[in-house]
Structure 1
Amino acid sequence: MSEAWIDIPGNPASRLLLIGDHASNRVPADIDLGIDPALLNEHVAIDIGVDPLGRALCAALDCPGILGGVSRLVTDLNREEDKPGLVPIASDGHAVPGNALDHAGREARIARFWRPYHARVAELIASGLPAMLISLHSFTPKLATSDEPRPWSIGILYNEDDRAARIAIPLLEAAGVATGDNQPYSGKVLNATMNLHGEGSGIPYLGIEVRQDLIGDEAGVARWAGILAPVIRATADALIG
């Protein structure tokens, strides 16, 4: 057990591994971000609904999972280690003054959270040999810094490896789900964890973004777990048999 991640138990024989980088809004007691605590319940701090939905999907698919253990405002686990946004000084128009760190402070933050988290993901991949990864995130219906609404219920994101995406998108559309193909933003721009552990290992992955207002309560989580689990299973069956 680590403060950097939460393990969700499951059967490695499922050949699936679910990863939720932004599942937590926890800020360790010794870190002061200098923000209004109310922000910790908003999308700038956490992917709303990912923790319960991730657990529900792991249960439905009988697969293990790993969820990030700290808020993305503490350390954004879905960023490359050398990117400035890994320890964000601002997010969607909100300043994070406590993250104005010197080199040593930034390095300490990375060593405490980012490296152990990604080492754990790599360890699970090496030990369980999953044949497909599931990357789970949620997105806000509209950014505070934009007037443009996001009309999709689900987005499927990918970078160079679109094997799972090309199977899952038609399945979701056939189920009547408004599905974004590399929307609400492109996996070719923001795909750090899957680039490292999926594309870097040659493992296909299904990057799923769920609109947060659809999974903000227990009923919504149950509904979307019921929609997504069969799509994930069918995608995995088509890819890996």
Structure 2
Amino acid sequence: MGRSIPQGTQQEWIPVRVSNPDGRGPFVILCDHASNHVPEDFGMLGLQPQDLQRHIAWDPGALGVSKVMSQALDAPLVESCVSRLVIDCNRALDAPDLIPSLSETTTIPANLDLDGAARQQRIALSHMPYHAAIEKLAQERASGGYDEPVYVAVHSYTPVYRGVERPWHIGIIHDDDDRVAAPLISGLQSSGEFEVGINEPYSPADRVYYTLERHASAAGLPSVMIEIRNDLITTLQDERKWGELLAHLLKNIIQNPLTGTGGTSKKETANRN
């Protein structure tokens, strides 16, 4: 059965943080797996401290890169402040790994046999606030006269997963809308420095595109998911290097009209009516 959080402790941790909400740039940076924090009331989920340093708990380096990009692009940044082992904010509510009982080869004891009330509690404490913050930011920017946003989700991945090496330095993930992904892939490949995974090591078919599907694709807005191999962003210098590189490429992309296969935004639909 699920363990309930004692009354009076639910607000002792922050589920989501929004930085630079008034940024004037067109991009909105999202970091779904920014934190490995597990609130004390969850008792470390039955894991050892070293487990929470592993990629199963978060995306190491992703937040640092996101912060550099936010500053360079003058873009808002929305970050989840809770480990994905508590609840994964980048999963649909019906996803089997929304609250994972097994991550890679590690069993998460506190996530076994959760009852419905315990699952709803986690959804209310972290998943709902995270997505509500993104929606609120979008509404505020729309009412403030900002251009429609371009959503960029920043993640990192482990170089070896279940014994299989992943050769890519960076992966660019996209759905049918490649207005940002296609030129970003081209820009990365043109340098000759990087092995670029196209919908690798994950693709939307793996149900990893939920946040962008919900906030971008559903509204016809451009988006892209960036996956950086986490052994390449282990220092502040690494994070700055990648953040500045990606910001530079995104700036170049947005200077020209976005072309390629894309959706229809709400604004475009309204203009046609």
Partners of 1:54 and 1:12 in 2: CA distance: 14
- Provide the residue aligned with 1:168 in structure 2: 184
The number of residue pairs the alignment matches comes to 239
Q: TM-score, normalised by structure 2?
A: 0.83
1:209-236 alpha-carbon deviations (Å, 9 max, x no partner): 1110111111111211221111111222
- Provide the residue aligned with 1:24 in structure 2: 35
- Provide the residue aligned with 1:125 in structure 2: 138
Partners of 1:188 and 1:232 in 2: CA distance: 25
Which of 172, 192, 208 does residue 156 from structure 1 map onto? Answer: 172
Partners of 2:177 and 2:242 in 1: CA distance: 25
Q: 1:237 Cα shift?
A: 2.5
Which of 52, 70, 74 does residue 40 from structure 1 map onto? Answer: 52
Q: How does 1:47-196 map to 2 (within 5 A)?
A: 47-100=59-112, 101-129=114-142, 130-143=148-161, 145=162, 147-176=163-192, 177-189=194-206, 190-196=208-214
2:165 counterpart letter in structure 1: P
What's the secondary structure of 2:41's corresponding residue? Answer: coil
Partners of 1:60 and 1:231 in 2: CA distance: 11
What's the secondary structure of 1:25's corresponding residue? Answer: coil
Conserved 8 A contact 1:89-1:95: yes
Q: 1:11 Cα shift?
A: 4.1
Q: 1:83 Cα shift?
A: 1.3
Partners of 1:209 and 1:91 in 2: CA distance: 18
RMSD (Å) for aligned C-alpha atoms: 1.7
Task: Could you list the structure 1 runs, at least 4 aligned residues long, displaced by more than 4 angstroms after superposition.
Answer: none
Mark the structure with the bigger radius of gyration.
Answer: 2
What's the secondary structure of 1:84's corresponding residue? Answer: coil
Q: 1:167 Cα shift?
A: 1.4
What's the secondary structure of 1:85's corresponding residue? Answer: coil
Q: Which moved more, 1:219-228 or 1:103-112?
A: 219-228
Conserved 8 A contact 1:12-1:128: no
- Provide the residue aligned with 2:6 in structure 1: none
1:53-107 alpha-carbon deviations (Å, 9 max, x no partner): 1111111111110011100101101100121211111101100010121111011
Q: 1:186 Cα shift?
A: 1.1
Q: 1:188 Cα shift?
A: 3.0
1:183 counterpart letter in structure 2: E
Partners of 1:11 and 1:199 in 2: CA distance: 23
- Provide the residue aligned with 2:237 in structure 1: 219
1:5-26 alpha-carbon deviations (Å, 9 max, x no partner): 1111154321210000000000
Conserved 8 A contact 1:10-1:62: no
Which residues of structure 1 form unaligned runs of 5+? none
Partners of 1:10 and 1:103 in 2: CA distance: 35
1:110 counterpart letter in structure 2: I
Q: How does 1:219-238 map to 2 (within 5 A)?
A: 219-238=237-256
Conserved 8 A contact 1:131-1:240: no
1:151-203 alpha-carbon deviations (Å, 9 max, x no partner): 11110001222221111100111122221111111123221111111101111
1:180 counterpart letter in structure 2: G
Which residues of structure 2 form unaligned runs of 5+? 1-10, 143-147, 260-273
Conserved 8 A contact 1:15-1:128: no
2:239 counterpart letter in structure 1: V
